[in-house]
Structure 1
Amino acid sequence: MSGFAYVVGQGQLEQLAPKAALDRHGDLRWFHLTTNDDHAKAWLSRSAHLPPFVVDALTATETRPRCDAVGDGAVINLRGLSSGDDAPDWLASVRIFVSAGNVYSVTRLPLSAVDTVRGEVETGTILDPGDLVAAMAQAITAELDPMVADLGDQLDDCEESLDMSRAFELRRAVNETRIQAIGYRRFLAPQRAALEKLGTLPQPWLRDDDRLHLAAAADRAARMAEELESIRERAALMHESLTDLRAEQLDQRSLMIAIVAMIFLPLTFLTGLLGMNVDGIPYAHREWAFWGVVGVCAVMALAIAAYFIRRHWFRR
């Protein structure tokens, strides 16, 4: 188990190990643990003396964004961008328990927003638990916003370059964009609800400015969820358009093959008839007979092709 702790109070800031910070007092004590084993569960239960429900919520293997009031505190699970390269999921989770004067957070994977909030704590802009949880929500949504915008830009580029010659490349790009949009929306929709619920909790450690910041983060999450839904629908329509273009291309090629077959079918019949190894074939011993047959075949081919052209069978 690894982690850090900050103690803020009376204009002073201390950075300590989580165990050492338990004996300190201040307006804000932030304990952050980075772990993927059972040591965090034991420390939270035996050293920090948190309730079993809170410990289970902070150390659960699988989580989704949520917010639950627990006495005079709250458990918040959020999802944000991971700063590690080995994240198995679309977004990494941060589990937070907030109460008067204390904030406990646990991550199983590195989270970019944690580093952002640490910087704000060290610069003195975060002074209480309400400030910290609001800053965490804002940092997470601020990092996700450009990611969602990039997905929309990628889809715009695909729509502008819609061409059958690039169908395979475009289909793969559209599918990747759609999969990413679905993965992000899976967590952003409940994250909006969690932030909205947190902002309405009647907790004394949440001030009016904290609630405004949480409302802004929830509104941004709602907008991103709507944008992701739009991206998903646009990607589905574009995939259908590419499928239609592919089907149209196959139909055109099948038509060309059919026309060529129709042109050569009577020529094949004529040449097969004259090529029979029997006596009595007209003009078999004339010097001009070969070129005569070639001329007849050419006239027949041109006549059939002219018929199809007049009927607009060659039009795309």
Structure 2
Amino acid sequence: MSPQKYLRYLMLPSLFGTARTKEILQVNPTIIPQREEAKDVKIFVHEYNATSIQEYGVESASECLLRHDDGFVSWINIDGLRKNDVEIICNNYGIHPLVIEDILSINQRPKMDEVDNILFCLLNMLYFNEQKKSVETEQISIILGKNFVLSFQEDAHRDVFPPIRTRLKINNAKIRQRGADYLCYSLLDMIVDNYFIVMEKVGEQIEIVEEEVIRSSNTRSLARINQLRKELIVLKRNFAPVRDLLNGIIRSESELLEDRHTKYYKDVYDHIVQAYDLSENYRDIIMSMQDLYINNVNLRMNEVMKVMAIVTCLLAPATVIGGIFGMNFDLIPYIHNRWGFFIAVGLMLLIPLWMLYVFRRRGWF
């Protein structure tokens, strides 16, 4: 076991994940971000039609030449971003410089733009980090043009598109029979479907914390609740803009989108709306857990105060009797009687026992 797992609980800021708060909320669009050049870059090209497909990887971006065969659809996927590679590929396909700037940006809000007869989509892939119990994002840009699709991913080692590559190898697959806009739909659909996998992981964490809060509420439980609220902020920050993105595609009158494929984009739109509603339900559960935690803390405090009040009441008769017989007067009843001490002690015991009986009958404990 690593000691860091437990040592972090000795520091209160670490316990409540304040660094995560800064990571989520520190977004300033007025500052030009400095993107680090990717160390590893993988470029894969798929060129296909209904009867044939060619799949190959290229070493440099300059090898991604524009194909002029109208019957083929070209899909170029770039894993790992370098400014020079992005500019070479985009210039080869006549992509506007503003779109290139968006591709190279950091922490962009998901959006959809139509620029110079291309359709540009920018959104985030979501992954769940099992070690940190947090949601991680990876920005992905998708460009739809006439008979081509360009996709840019930040991380060269994580990808959710292998199922699409597998479907492309099947001769009679629907994706092979359709145009580039159907491929664009397939990419968006795969990303949105992956959101539900991440939400399942978050839901499992919510169930674990809920059990912990019900069984034994402590400071660690509150920290876990606070952490889950931050992860839900990440989810909602991505779901709402993607909903607007898909709505913009559905309403678009671009010639790149075939009317027969509109229903497919509407299906993805329904999925993202469902994901957004589910995140709202998760948020309600988190708020309920926080209220439950506060109620449990108050209940324990009330139990402690009740015990202390009962003890104080039981000691009150002995205090009064001892105070009376401890006064410095000669004319105190039974003060010179040989049974006076035993009578006083007996009263000190009998009165609390009678009080316990009365409290019990009234259901005070």
For residues 103-182 of structure 1, the aligned pairs below 5 Å read: 103-109=149-155, 110-123=157-170, 125=173, 126-127=175-176, 128-152=179-203, 154-155=205-206, 163=214, 165-166=216-217, 168=219, 170-182=221-233
Q: Match for residue 21 of structure 1?
A: 64
Report what 1:96 is aligned to.
142
| Secondary structure, aligned partner of 1:261 | helix
Residue number among 307, 321, 337 corresponding to 1:270 in the alignment: 321
Kept in 1, the 8 Å contact 2:192–2:271? The answer is yes
- Say if 1:158 and 1:200 are closer, same or farther in 2 by CA, change over 3 A: same
Paired residue type of 2:164: V
- Runs of 5+ consecutive residues of structure 2 not aligned to the other structure: 1-37
- Distance in 2, Cα, partners of 1:312 & 1:179: 43
2:258 to 170, 193, 207: 207
| 1:188 CA displacement | 0.8
> Could you list the per-position Cα deviations for residues 148-190 of structure 1 after superposition, in whole angstroms to 9, with x for gaps in the alignment?
2444455456657763634556544444433322221110111
Aligned to 2:43: 4
* CA distance 1:9–1:94, shift in 2 (3 Å): same
Out of 195, 200, 225, the position equivalent to 2:276 is 225
Asked if the contact 1:164/1:242 (under 8 Å) is kept, the reply is no
Residue in 2 that maps onto 1:69 = 114
Contact persistence 2:141–2:151 (CA under 8 A)? yes
Seen in structure 2, the aligned counterparts of structure 1 residues 202 and 86 have a Cα distance that, compared at 3 Å, is farther
**1:6: Cα distance to partner?**
1.5
Distance 2:251 2:47 in 1: 26
Offset of residue 16 of structure 1: 3.4
Matches within 5 A, 1:190-205: 190-205=241-256
Quote the Cα distance in structure 2 between the aligned partners of 1:142 and 1:224. 9
Structure 2 residue aligned with 1:34, among 79, 93, 110?
Answer: 79
After superposition, the Cα gap between the structure-2 partners of 1:86 and 1:265, relative to the gap in structure 1 and judged at 3 Å, is: closer
Contact kept in structure 1, 2:79 and 2:153, CA below 8 Å = yes
**Aligned pairs, how many?**
314
2:250/2:265 contact within 8 Å kept: yes
Looking at structure 2, the residues matched to 210 and 6 of structure 1 have their Cα atoms a distance apart, in angstroms, of 24
RMSD over aligned CA atoms reads: 3.3
Once the two structures are TM-superposed, the CA of residue 50 in structure 1 deviates from its matched residue by 2.2
State the distance in 1 between where 2:328 and 2:281 align.
71
Check the 8 A contact 1:267/1:297 in 2, yes or no: yes
Answer with 78-87 or 293-302: which moved more.
78-87
TM-superposed deviation, 1:123 = 4.2
Q: Which segment is superposed worse, 128-137 or 162-171? A: 162-171
Native 8 Å contact 1:76 1:97 kept in 2: yes
Mapped pair 1:78 → 2:128 = no
| C-alpha distance 120-60 of structure 1, shift in aligned 2 (>3 A) | farther
Residue 52 of structure 1 corresponds to which residue in structure 2? 97
The whole-number CA distance in structure 1 between the counterparts of 2:204 and 2:79 is: 34
Q: Structure 1: 5+ residue runs without aligned partners?
A: none
Q: Per the alignment, in what secondary structure is the counterpart of residue 95 of structure 2? A: coil
Q: Give per-residue Cα distances to partners, 1:55-107, cap 9 Å, x unaligned.
A: 11221122122111123211101222348889996322211111002222212
Residue pair 2:143, 2:150 contacting (<8 A) in 1 also: yes
CA contact (8 A) 1:199 1:211 kept: yes
Mapped partners of 2:331, 2:278: distance in 1: 80
Q: Given the superposition, is the C-alpha separation of residues 37 and 286 from structure 1 closer, same or farther in structure 2, using an over 3 Å criterion? A: farther
The alignment partner of 2:123 has SS state of: strand
**Partners of 1:91 and 1:114 in 2: CA distance:** 16
- Look up the SS of the partner of 1:113 in the other structure: coil
Q: TM-score normalised to the size of structure 1?
A: 0.83
Distance 1:83 1:107, change over 3 A: farther
AA paired with 1:252?
A: E
Does the CA contact (< 8 Å) of 1:9 and 1:28 recur in 2?
Answer: yes
**TM-aligned CA deviation for residue 254 of structure 1:** 0.9
